Structure 1
Amino acid sequence: MFKKTERQALYVWVYSLKWRKKLQHYGTIYYTSPKMKYVMMYVNTNRVAEVKKELSSKNYVKRVSLAHRKELDEHYVLKTDSKREEKE
C-alpha cells in the first residue's frame, strides 16, 4: 500500500540556473524562476537539515531557505459583518 512521506519545500537561490540539473540529486524540483534565479524543490522532512547544510556549502548556491507553509494555519473562518446581522 502507498505510504505518504512528509516533504518540506526549500528555496535555493543560485548564481546561474545551469546548476539546476545538479540540484535534482537532492530532491524533486517543483519550480524554477529564471528571472529571480531560484529553484523551489521538495525534500523529505527527515533529510532537510542535512540537505540544507550540504547545499549551503556549494559554491554555486547563494542561500537556502525553508518554506513556511507548514507553519501557516490553513483553516480559514469567514468573518461576517456584525452590523448586517443586527439589522436582520
Structure 2
Amino acid sequence: MFKKVERQALYVWMYSLKWRKKLQRYGTIYYTSPKMKYVMMYVNSNRVAEVRKELNSKNYVKRVSLAHRKELDEHFVLKSSESKREEKE
C-alpha cells in the first residue's frame, strides 16, 4: 500500500542555474526561476537539515531557505451574511 511521506519545500538561491541539474539528487525540483535564479524543490522532511547543510556548502549556492507553508493555518472560515449583521448590531 502507498504510504504518504511528509515533504518540505526548499528555496535554493544560486549564482548560476547551469547547476540546477545537480540538485535533482537531493529532491524533486518543482519550479525554476531563471530571472531570480532560484529553484524550488521538495525534500523528505526527515532529511531537511542534512540536505540544507550540504547545499549550503556547495560553491554554486548563495543561500537555502525553508518554505513556511507548514506553519500557516490552512483552515479558513468564511463569515456568513447573518454573522455580519449580528456584528453591526
| TM score, norm. by length of structure 1 | 0.91
C-alpha spacing 1:84/1:8, structure 2 compared with 1 (3 Å): closer
Question: Could you report, residue by residue, the CA deviation over 1:61-85 in whole angstroms, capped at 9, with x for unpaired residues?
Answer: 0000000000000000113467852
Please tell me the root mean square deviation across aligned C-alpha atoms, in Å: 1.8
The size of the alignment, in residue pairs, is 87
Is 1:36 the counterpart of 2:21 in the alignment?
no
Match of 1:45 in 2: 45
Gap regions ≥5 residues in structure 2 = none
C-alpha spacing 1:6/1:84, structure 2 compared with 1 (3 Å): closer
Q: Which has the higher helix share?
A: 2
Gap regions ≥5 residues in structure 1 = none
Question: Could you report, residue by residue, the CA deviation over 1:15-44 in whole angstroms, capped at 9, with x for unpaired residues?
Answer: 000001000010000000000000000000
Match of 1:76 in 2: 76
| TM score, norm. by length of structure 2 | 0.90
Provide the secondary structure at the position in 2 that maps to 1:24: helix
